[in-house]
Structure formats: C-alpha cells, structure tokens
Structure 1
Amino acid sequence: MAQNLQLRPVDLARPHGLSTQAVRNYEEAGILPAADRTPSGYRTYTPRHAQALHAFLALVPGHGHRTATAIMRAINAYAVEEALTLVDRTHAQLLEDRGTLRAVEAALRDLAPVARERADTFVGPLARRLGVRPATLRKWERAGLVQPRRDRRTGYRVYTAADVRDAQLVHQLRRGGYPLERIAPLIAQVRSAGGVAPLESTLHDWHARLAARGRALLAGAAALDAYLGS
C-alpha cells in the first residue's frame, strides 16, 4: 500500500473495532502523527498512520496504555532512543517480576513446616528463630507485614502460626533483597488466599501471566519495528 494513499478515519478505525473519535483522540494525544487536512477541513490519513495505530495497540498489552502512549509520542517526535529506553524498562520490570516469583516460590517451600504449627510464640523466641532482632519484628509490624495480637493480661505480642508464617516469608524475601514495600502485597496475597497451600495453587497462573506478557512484548516489538521501518 502506497504511503501517499489517503485514508479516512473510519478506514483506520474499522479493522480494530474502534470509533472514528478514538482515532482522532489518538492523533491529538500524539500516538499517531499529525494528519493532513483537506481544503474543507477533513482529516486524511496514510498507511503510515495505520501502522502507527497498529503498533500502539500491539504495545498496550505488554507495556500498558500509559507507557505505550509515551513510546509512540517519542517515536513521532523523532526521539527514538527515548522510545527504546521505555521499551527496555518494561523488559527489565518483567525480568524483575520473574525474579520475584522465583523468590516467592523458594520462600513458600521453606514455609511448609511453619504452616503446620499450632503453638503461639512471643517476640523474643521468634526473633531468635529467625536470627533477627526483636526491633526488626516490630518494624515489620509497623509496616503491616506481621500482625501479632496482644495478650490482654501482659500486653505481650503473641504470634500465631500464621504470624510465624508471615514473618518467615518476610525474612526470606528480605534476605533476597526485596524492600518492605514490595513484600507487603505478597503478604496480603498469602493472607487473602487463606495460607500457603491455596497461594501455591496460584503460582501456575502467575507464571502464565508473565509468559503472556512476555509474548505481548514480542508482538509489540515486532509492530513497533515495522512502524520504525515504514
């Protein structure tokens, strides 16, 4: 298709199930290059605009709408290095997410004996067991990572088997270099799953989501490369 062929907004919109207004919005957002206008003021597009739209829609599943928009804006502003840096960042994040999944799997394997415990324990014995200071456990508590109850009579912190499980998971991930703010959602997932065993059943889905995102990044890269070569 010749690049000087004139296309209407509907010609870009229809193959993707979009409205013509969406195409105009994408142009105004810088996702598409600026369109020429007819003497009567109507927008006219070219196959290059169609490639830009295809590239953007291919980028969204892997990068998300915001990053995909930033990539296309950079490309259309001839800032190719900036666009490729954004692509690299998403790939780096995916690699980091894979590392997190491996760390969680390893930590959950270590947690299996803890999940079967029933006796409560206190801050001192738990700190010695993990090889950390009691102050560290209190810091984790302030961050919401462990939630021991207080003994009504003594006021001492009492850690149930679930609390011990959470503390050991935090400890394993901290040893792996993960900051508290990244550990918090994982602990929340363990709690919402009702323990370790139900969470383990979700790991396959986690792997599948990461694999799907990796494939989406490949598809987006192919479409972006085609647009860059147009």
Structure 2
Amino acid sequence: MNGPVPLRTTDVARASGYSPQQVRDLERLGVIPPAARSANGYRAYNPTHVRALHAYRGLAGAVGPVAARQTLARLRTATLAEAASAITDVHVRLARERDEALRAQRALDAIRGEAGSAPGAGREGDAMTITELAGALGVRPSTLRFWEQEGLVRPERVTSLRARRYGPSAVGAARIVTALRGAGHGIPAVREIMASLDRLDGAEEARDILRRRLDRIAERTVALLRAGTDLAAVVTSARETADARGTSL
C-alpha cells in the first residue's frame, strides 16, 4: 500500500503562507526538521513540516523570530518535560511583561499624585538597593546605572562608597522606564517622556504608550495560544521520531 504523497517545497509554502525560499531557509535554521530527499534529489516534506511552520509563525508573533527559531529548534530535540518547560517559560515571560506594564501604570499615577509633595517623601522601608530593584525589574544593575547616567532614574546615594538606594518615587520611575524601553522607545524618547511627567500632556502620553504596550502584550499572548496545538504537534512528532529511532526523548 502506498504511503502519503510527499509534499514539494511549493506545497509547503502554499500551505504555510511562507515563500519557497523562506521554507528552505527555516529548514536550514532548524525551525523545521530536515526534509527527506526523493530519488531525484528534490526535497520531500510531510504535514509535520507544515505544522512546524504554523507553530513558528505563532511563536514568532509572541516572542519574535530569533527567540522563536531557538525555541523550535530546541523543541525538536527536547524531552517532554524540557519542551513543556520551554513553552511555559514563554507564557511566564509574557505574564511578567504584562505585570510590569501594569505596575508602571500604577507608578505613573503615584508619581502624578506626589507632584508638589516634599522631596524624599515616602516610607524609608520602601527603599530598595540597586540589586533589589534590578531583580524586581528583571534588568541588570548596570542597566540602572546607565539609566542614571542618562538622567532617567535618580537614586539616593547614602554611603561614602556611593551605594545606591532607591526611594518609592525612584522605584516608580524605574518601572515606567522599564515599560517604555520594553515598548521599543529609545533613550532620547524615554528621557523626554520622563521629563514631561509633571505636565498633564506628558502624563497622558505615557499612559497612551503603556496602554498600547498592554494591547501588544495581549496580541502576543493570543498568538501564543493559537500556536499551542501546533507546538504540541511539534513535540509529539519529535518524540515519535525518536522512538522510531530507538532513542528516548
């Protein structure tokens, strides 16, 4: 009995929405498994390759093409536990970005509410070290130092060794900067926005950016959800292939 008819590069391109050259490039990059070769040397694909390309499209919409390529290549050789962990990590990353944008919104409201209050207002217990703040924001301490040099976040210096401590206002400002940078705004644009927060139009601009940031995170989350079935198919196919070869994934 004859097996399934192999798919040509053009067939896969038509079914996946990519061009034939993109299909070949994504195969070369490890996004999809290597195609079998027919007797005449042409590539022979199957539906698994189409599912992998659909998974890649959804994953790229969620985390970007570079991270999507790395994840798909990893899923093809991962154990079931490793594959589940890799996909969960993407969901966690998006959830963290959303939480940070929401915190930035609250910080923006707090900073506006504190306008005109005495410098240094806030509880001492709310202050954070540079290591604590960097960990809370998911950035490196060197990033906070760079933002300080650029005039974006101004910490309090409290020791002769110039150790940095960040009060509530500085923590809030750092959250806003993190969200703005995550939304793709360059340092000059962020500096202008942060400098304008004491103006109504500046605060509204920042709010609009944060709202768009949350909308974009929601779109990426939906893209990841849509890719879920295809990602599961990639993992299942990889395990079946490994079992057929007598290996254990």
* TM-score, normalization by structure 2: 0.64
Task: For 1:11 and 1:43, locate their aligned partners in 2 and report how far apart those are by CA, in whole Å.
Answer: 11
Would you say the 8 A contact 1:3–1:47 is kept in 2?
no
Q: Does 1:224 align with 2:231?
A: yes
Q: Does 1:201 align with 2:194?
A: no
Deviations 1:88-138 (A, max 9, x none): 2111111111221221121111122445x4x9xxxxx734x3456xxx8xx
Q: For residue 126 of structure 1, what is the aligned residue in structure 2?
A: 119
> Does the C-alpha gap of structure 1 residues 79 and 64 become closer, same or farther in structure 2, counting only changes over 3 Å?
farther
> Does the C-alpha gap of structure 1 residues 92 and 10 become closer, same or farther in structure 2, counting only changes over 3 Å?
same
Deviations 1:22-72 (A, max 9, x none): 111111222111211122211111112222222222221012212222222
Unpaired runs of at least 5, structure 2:
130-144, 155-166, 198-202, 238-249
Q: How does 1:7-46 map to 2 (within 5 A)?
A: 7-46=7-46
Aligned length: 197
Q: For residue 211 of structure 1, what is the aligned residue in structure 2?
A: 218
Q: How does 1:143-222 map to 2 (within 5 A)?
A: 144-146=151-153, 169-172=169-172, 182=178, 185=181, 191-193=191-193, 194-195=196-197, 196-222=203-229
Displacement over 6 Å in runs of 4+: none
Give the CA deviation at 1:9.
0.2
Would you say the 8 A contact 1:59–1:217 is kept in 2?
yes
Task: For 1:83 and 1:70, locate their aligned partners in 2 and report how far apart those are by CA, in whole Å.
Answer: 12
Q: Does 1:64 align with 2:64?
A: yes
Task: For 1:221 and 1:93, locate their aligned partners in 2 and report how far apart those are by CA, in whole Å.
Answer: 16
Task: For 1:78 and 1:104, locate their aligned partners in 2 and report how far apart those are by CA, in whole Å.
Answer: 36
Task: For 1:142 and 1:131, locate their aligned partners in 2 and report how far apart those are by CA, in whole Å.
Answer: 26
Report the aligned-residue RMSD.
Answer: 3.8
Give the partner amino acid of 1:224.
L
Task: For 2:43 and 2:37, locate their aligned partners in 1 and report how far apart those are by CA, in whole Å.
Answer: 5
Q: For residue 50 of structure 2, what is the aligned residue in structure 1?
A: 50
The secondary structure found in structure 1 opposite 2:5 is: coil
Task: For 1:184 and 1:37, locate their aligned partners in 2 and report how far apart those are by CA, in whole Å.
Answer: 48
Unpaired runs of at least 5, structure 1:
120-124, 148-166
Give the CA deviation at 1:141.
4.1
* TM-score, normalization by structure 1: 0.68
Identity between Structure 1 and Structure 2 (%):
28
Give the partner amino acid of 1:98.
R
Task: For 1:141 and 1:51, locate their aligned partners in 2 and report how far apart those are by CA, in whole Å.
Answer: 46
Give the CA deviation at 1:16.
3.7
